[in-house]
A and B are shown apart, each in its own frame.
Chain A
Amino acid sequence: MNEKRASLGYDFIKGFIKENPTFALAVGMCPTLAVTTSLVNGFWMGIAVIFVLTFSNVFVSLLRKVIPDEIRVPIFIILIATPVVIVELVMKAYMPAMYNILGIFVPLIVVNCIILHRAESFAHKNPILNSVMDALGSGMAFTLNLMVIGAIREFLGTGQLAIGSLVFPKAPLFEPAVVMLTPPGGFITLGVLMALLNIVVARAGKRKQTESPRG
């Protein structure tokens, strides 16, 4: 195998900007648009994905030398479906209210692009520790994305933010724009955030380019 591995730190950090699942790779769009009507929904969806992603990356990486190349995708799916069932049953048992909100999108994590994408493009070719860092990085970035989108939509759509029983501010600050809780609001938020991230990345890239000849 090639020994020139990138550092564990890089494998963790790259999920946030360069390979940000939502804004750079545009994978996992279905839950991103469907369940992000509030910050809390986004958080729990993200936690579920982090668990499944770590589990599947570990096992794909462990078995990468024995998985026949021709049938690797069905095997990935089996390795992904196992933790999804665990998450689904745990959620149903201990937080039925949240399970009812997230609904079909919990079992649908099986076919979530992020997880298959990380399995195919990373865990399939890399050692376990790197794969774990990759899963944690991508998963946390995904969670952060869902929380940011959820927070923006919840705030604009209801005029306040609710975390458990903590509601801030007490009364809506302005007249809530119901559209932000509907799919168009999700698309608008996603598009604006994606554009902003691209601007930041492009600016940073330009700065690096202009600096390098001098240095």
Chain B
Amino acid sequence: MGDRLLVTPPPHVKSAKTVQGIMLDVVIALCPAAIAGIVLFGFRAALIILASVVSAVASEAIYQRAVKKQVTINDFSAVITGLLLALTLPPNVPVWIPVIGAAFAIVVVKQLFGGLGNNFLNPALAARAFLLAAWPLHMTQDWVNPMSYDAATSATPLAGFNATGQTALTFKEMLLGQRLGSIGETCILALLLGGIYLLARDVIDYRTPLGYLGTLAVGTWIFGKPGELFQGNPLSAIFLGGAFIGAFFMATDYVTSPVTPRGRLYMGIGCGLITLVIRLWGGYPEGVTYAILFMNLVTPLIDKYVVPRYYGSGHDKMARKGGGR
């Protein structure tokens, strides 16, 4: 039998990367942001994160057991969904909000469409959009003042920034996250740390966050100041709101973003453009959630039209242009 020709279907090249390994990397990369959120917003933030993660993992286990599928909570994907959802929530929401949100993310958005790899929307963001539509007051007013831990119901600094094109916050405050905002979105330094870790471990493609933040920065620079062109503040635009966490951790989700390098760049640029439009001319102060969800929907289209040229193809085109080299 040893001299038989063995014919197997592709793929023939195997990678050492596993789903579990990649997911664990993302969890590690999210840890700085989670810790920063707990330091900034206190015990409540820890409670929200815990409730969200426990609910996500429990929902996955219960659903998979109920429909007699293999229980896959060991692959950390439910942990990531719970963690990401918690990081996008205001710190002072009631504890049942992350519990319901995480269950919605896992059961409705992920499992009902076939589980990991088959969901067409980012589960955490879809759940956030659901919560925003279901309990809008909690989702837009339950803020906490950083470091002093008392509740605040005023608008986040992004709303003022969108209206006037400037903010009273200093660069250092924005970098450390000392402002009103969702648990994990404010501390840019922690997010940057996690993002660089993911880039270094080759988990995410630099094109998506670069395209996203670049488009948003340039767009804000051009249109950010009302009545004047090229006077906006690009740095504040990417440091305020959820653009940073979205660009590094959500727009890069494997399942719901394009697979080709060029497609990933388009994904980033599209997210940046939609965020910009919603922020400057839309009805909501922040557009990251809807921008990424919208681009999730467009992803199959990008994958269909952005196909890399493989070696030996495209000969006719070159001939028409004048015979290649």
Contacts and interface: CB of A to CB of B under 8 A. Distances in A.
Interface of A: 175, 177-180, 182, 184, 188, 195
Contacts of B138: 175
Contacts of A178: 133-136
Contact of B133 (A175, A182, A195): A182
Contacts of A188: 108
Interface of B: 94, 108, 112, 130, 133-136, 138
A179 B108 contact: no
Contacts, number: 18
A185 to B, nearest CB: 8
Given A177-B135, A178-B135, 11 more contacts: A175-B94, A175-B138, A178-B134, A178-B136, A179-B130, A179-B133, A179-B134, A184-B130, A184-B133, A188-B108, A195-B112
A177 B135 CA distance: 6
B229 to A, nearest CB: 37
B77 to A, nearest CB: 23
A180 B133 CA distance: 9
Contacts of B108: 188
A204 to B, nearest CB: 18
Contacts of B94: 175
A180 B131 CA distance: 11
18 contacts: A175-B94, A175-B135, A175-B138, A177-B134, A177-B135, A178-B133, A178-B134, A178-B135, A178-B136, A179-B130, A179-B133, A179-B134, A180-B134, A182-B133, A184-B130, A184-B133, A188-B108, A195-B112
Contacts of B135: 175, 177-178
A175 B134 CA distance: 10
Contacts of A184: 130, 133
A33 to B, nearest CB: 16
A79 B211 CA distance: 59
A145 B130 CA distance: 24
